[in-house]
Amino acid sequence: MSVTLIGKHEKDARASRDAMALPLNEMMAQDKSICYVDCDLMGCVNTKQLRKNYPDRAFEAGIAEGNGAGICAGLAATGKKVFFHSFGTFSSRRCYDQIYMSAAYAGLPVHVLGSDAGVTAAFNGGTHMPLEDGAMYLSIPEATVTDPCDYAQLESVVRQLPGITKGVTYTRFVRKDIIQVYADGSQFEIGKGVVLHESDKDVCTVVASGIMVDEALKAYEALQTEGIAVRLIDMFTWKPLDEALLAKAARETGAIVTAENHNTCCGLGSVVANCLVKNCPVPMEFVGVQDQFGQVGPQAFLMDEYGLRAANIVAAVKKAVARK
């Protein structure tokens, strides 16, 4: 792991999807065993170039995600390293049994890419808003589940995926606008959380992923002005989870707040709680979508609506600390 934090809350000039599409284009040139399958959404994630550049290895499955997932499993059975994309709702709910049985249960690795993580589905609305995709993939044995927060982290994760040969993988990512958190070239290790801030005065640890990492950074700054020191961990790797890092943080800071762009039922908060109950139980609070359905609207509105803001993290930290 080699990480440089920028964390100035500035929007990246690039579309987040290119952190997946451009490296994948390079990887397909180098590794002829990589295949790509999409379900009529190449135009949304800039992967039409793959079909143009590698017509014998990048395929349209059309608007038929269940079949598309099965095609991927069959390709994997012939030794291909297979990437499969649709919107997060359709690459989880719509093809779950196919991913579960044809790929995971059958021992065939397929790398699933779910775009428009959580409220970033925005104007496509509640029907297209994946708030349970992570939960579904977390419950598949041997799966790898990540929720990258920015361009550099998504690119680093995508480059590691072909090396994962056991279990299916699920990468939930943002398609368009993204805040830059890390410097380009930062290298992350799946299974290892990233400590963004720590001190020996920390009274609580905030564990965030995805778009909530930037909100957590803002919360960290706000708490600092109030003289409250907190540890901040980017836990983009939901599974495998960095249990040692979490247990250490719980022991040393005595309280935990999780922050996720996902239902708090069965997402990051749940796996962190599972881990801590076994290792070092401490007061915990959960920032995220509180067991609600998605809805349509601008991302900023949705973040306010569901309590996915720095202010919500600040309040949760105070509540957790008060419970110590």
The residues of the shown chain that bind another protein, judged by CB under 8 A, are: 35, 56-57, 59-62, 64, 66-80, 97-98, 101-102, 105-107
Q: How far is the CB of 61 from another protein (least distance, A)?
A: 6
Q: How far is the CB of 60 from another protein (least distance, A)?
A: 8
In angstroms, the CA 275 to CA 137 distance is 17
* Whole-number Cα distances in Å, 314 to 213, 226, 257: 13, 10, 9
52 close to 38: Cβ distance less than 8 angstroms: no
Closer to another protein at the Cβ: 23 or 66?
66
Closer to another protein at the Cβ: 3 or 75?
75
Closer to another protein at the Cβ: 113 or 245?
113
- DSSP string across 275-296: HHHHH----EEEEEE-S-----
List of residues 6+ apart from 72 with CB closer than 8 A: 35, 37, 82, 84, 103, 110
Strand ranges inside the chain, DSSP E: 34-38, 58-60, 81-87, 110-115, 144-146, 169-173, 194-197, 205-208, 231-234, 237-239, 256-263, 284-289
Q: How far is the CB of 165 from another protein (least distance, A)?
A: 14
Q: How far is the CB of 113 from another protein (least distance, A)?
A: 17
Closer to another protein at the Cβ: 35 or 121?
35
Closer to another protein at the Cβ: 72 or 212?
72
Q: How far is the CB of 146 from another protein (least distance, A)?
A: 24
